[in-house]
Every structure is written in structure tokens, then in C-alpha cells.
Amino acid sequence: MELQRVGFIGLGAMGLPMAKNLQKKGYELHVSAHNNRNPVEELKSNGAIEHNSASEIVANCDVLISILPTDNEIESVLLSEGVLNELTPEKRLIEMTSGSADMMKKLYKIYQEKGVSVLDAPVSGGTAGAENGTLTVMVGGDEGVLEESRELIMAMAAKIYLVGSIGAGKAIKAINQMLAGIHMIASAEAVALAEELEIDKEQLRNVIGSSSGASWMLNAKLDSLTERNFEPGFKLRLMKKDVKIAVDEASKLSLPLANTALELYEKYEGEYCDLDFSAVGKKSLK
Ligand code: NDP
């Protein structure tokens, strides 16, 4: 393994287990606390080095990985004056937030002017994928930069797809999230109807699972929906953000399902903000 000091920003439901997998592979981690100190304490107990700010992390790392909630944090952290002042041409950024292609391109342009190599690399696979190191990574960017980063990314992932230039990673992730957001609503409605019609859960799993109505989402969420377990997982406010990215990208198209899904996520965002995104179907279930 090439010796790399890795800065990690965004130690949430995804970032913390991803960072732990990097530690298991021997990478030297550089972190700082935002609001919640617990992830930093956990990583420090395994040897991570704590800094006082994002800019201090950048000053002390060769590769920076970020997985923040939204475009807003990409802007306020990665494009802050303090961070920009610490960028030097030998550094590399692997940006893994589910954000917009426009923000990714803006970030790239500014980092490129500083000579920093950048990969646009959002992920799929949920918190289980983050814990097990089996994420799918959707990369936009230069093939050479990906090859230099492959070993590092594979410490957190099972599959890497190079899908195009900077922005293409964020774009394909937005398409995935549009589908996932719609499939979630459809799955909750299917469970509500099955319960109304007194169809056994295992019959639903097995029969629909091998029929034309099968969906990855129904299979993944069947137990938690029937148990009314809405612990996140993936928070509803983050799914709303993702479906909105897709709808905004599609402003010249007619996408009635995506728009309806967005309306539902917006409707429940206040009440179920930090519950799992499956709570979008809570009111369909008796
Ligand atoms: P969380 O809300 O669990 O975590 C967000 C993390 O970012 C927290 O550690 C938070 O720190 C930190 N943070 C927020 N603002 C700042 C800031 N200004 N500076 C430094 N750190 C900050 O989100 P997730 O981990 O679930 O999601 C992260 C990204 O990954 C999102 O874009 C999401 O859409 C995407 N994603 C999520 C998946 C999931 O299943 N959860 C699956 C695939 C992608 P603190 O808590 O201290 O405020």
C-alpha cells in the first residue's frame, strides 16, 4: 500500500463506518469533530489523529475524502477560504456526497485551478454497505486519478464504475435516487395493500420477489415496513434532497412520478425529517 495520510470529513451514518474500514486497511486517518464528538472519539481509539478544523485536516493529509449531507456543506466546508488556502497540487479530493452535478463541476473548477486532482465519487449500498465495505461507487473523473485512488476506494467498496467526466457520478447517483425514492413509496403502498388483503408477508416476499412486480426496495424494506421500524438508515430529509436534485435536473422534461414523489417527501420532511426515508409510507400503513 502506498503510504497515504487520509483526511476524512463527514463522519455520519455513512462516513464513520467507511472511515473505520480505512483504518482496518492501515490508512492514517485525520479527522475533526463537527457537532457530535462520538465518531471522532471512536476513530481516535483506533489511532486517528484529531484536528481542530477542516482546514487543519487538509493541511495534514495527502488525500481528502468527503461525504457530507448536501451541496450546502460542500460549499461551506470544501469551498471555505480556510480549506482553499491549504490546497496544494500534490493533494487529491475524493468527493462522495450525493450532491448535484453543478456543485461538483463548480468544486472541480476551483480545485483544478489549484492543481488538485479530484474524483466525483458518490456511493450506494446504504449503511450496511458502508459497514461491510461493499459499497458501489459511481465515479466521474479522470481514469488516471481513479487508478491512483482505486486501492483506497476498494477499502470501502465492492464495485467501482467509471461513468464519465466530473459531474457524471453525481448525475447517475441522482437517477438512482429518483428510482429509489419512487420505489420506496410503491413498496410501502404494496405492503399496505397486502396487509389489507391479509396476504402473508413471506408469501409477498417469495411470490412478488419472483414475479414482474419485484423490486430491490420491497425486498430490502419489507421487514422494517411490517414492523413499523423507521430507525435510519438513510434519513428522509436526505432522500428529499436527492429526489429534488433529480427533479431540478429534469426541469425540461415531464416526469410526473418523480414530481409526485418529491411532493410526498416534502410533505413529510417536517414531521419525519430524521426518520428513515421509508417513513414516507407511514401514513399508508394502518
Ligand atoms: P448523516 O446526517 O448521518 O451524517 C452527516 C455527517 O456530516 C455528520 O457526521 C455531520 O456531523 C457531518 N457534517 C455536517 N455538516 C458538517 C460540516 N459543516 N462540517 C463537517 N462535518 C459536517 O448523513 P449520511 O452519512 O447518511 O449521508 C451523507 C451523504 O451520503 C449524503 O449526501 C447522503 O445522501 C449520502 N448517502 C447516504 C446513505 C445512507 O444510507 N445513509 C447511502 C448513500 C449515500 P455532525 O453530526 O457532528 O453534525
Q: Please indicate, yes or no, whether residues 32 and 150 belong to a single structural domain of this protein.
A: yes
Q: Please indicate, yes or no, whether residues 121 and 155 belong to a single structural domain of this protein.
A: yes
Q: Beta partners for 64? A: 7, 93
- Phi first, then psi, for residue 94 (nearest 5°) are -115, 105
Ligand 1 atom with least separation from CA of 34: 47
Which residue of 34, 57, 58 sits with most ligand 1 atoms within 8 Å of its CB, as the best mutation to test the pocket? Answer: 34
- Phi first, then psi, for residue 259 (nearest 5°) are -65, -40
Q: Please indicate, yes or no, whether residues 175 and 135 belong to a single structural domain of this protein.
A: no
Q: Read off the CATH number of the domain in which 270 is found.
A: 1.10.1040.10
Does residue 198 come out as left (phi exceeding 0), alpha (psi in the -120 to 50 range) or beta? Answer: left
pLDDT of res. 286:
87
Q: Which of 106, 133, 165 is the last residue of a domain?
A: 165
Listed as own residue / partner, the contacts of 254-263 with beta carbons closer than 8 Å and 24 or more positions apart are: 255/178, 257/182, 258/178, 258/181, 258/182, 261/178, 261/181, 261/182, 261/185, 262/181
Q: Please indicate, yes or no, whether residues 48 and 147 belong to a single structural domain of this protein.
A: yes
Q: Please indicate, yes or no, whether residues 52 and 177 belong to a single structural domain of this protein.
A: no
Residues annotated as part of the active site: 173
For residue 129, give its domain range. Answer: 5-165
Q: Please indicate, yes or no, whether residues 131 and 176 belong to a single structural domain of this protein.
A: no
Ligand 1 mean position to 182 CA, how many Å?
A: 22
Q: Please indicate, yes or no, whether residues 102 and 191 belong to a single structural domain of this protein.
A: no
Ligand 1 mean position to 237 CA, how many Å?
A: 11
Q: Read off the CATH number of the domain in which 128 is found.
A: 3.40.50.720
Q: Which of 104, 137, 165 is the last residue of a domain?
A: 165
Identify the residues whose C-beta falls under 6 Å from ligand 1.
9-15, 34-36, 67-69, 73, 76-77, 97-98, 123-124, 126-127, 233-234, 238, 242
Quote the Cα angle for 188-190-191, to 5°: 65
Ligand 1 mean position to 97 CA, how many Å?
A: 8
Ligand 1 mean position to 232 CA, how many Å?
A: 12
Ligand 1 atom 5 nearest Cα = 12
Q: Please indicate, yes or no, whether residues 158 and 119 belong to a single structural domain of this protein.
A: yes
Say how far residue 80 (Cα) sits from the centre of its chain.
21
How many domains would you assign to the chain? 2
Which residue of 38, 67, 236 sits with most ligand 1 atoms within 8 Å of its CB, as the best mutation to test the pocket? Answer: 67
Q: Which of 132, 165, 198 is the last residue of a domain?
A: 165
Written as tens digits, the pLDDT of the chain (286 aa) is 455 899 999 999 999 999 999 999 999 999 999 999 999 999 999 999 999 999 999 999 999 999 999 999 999 999 999 999 999 999 999 999 999 999 999 999 999 999 999 999 999 999 999 999 999 999 999 999 999 999 999 999 999 999 999 999 999 999 999 999 999 999 999 999 999 999 999 999 999 999 999 999 999 999 999 999 999 999 999 999 999 999 999 999 999 999 999 999 999 999 999 999 999 999 999 8
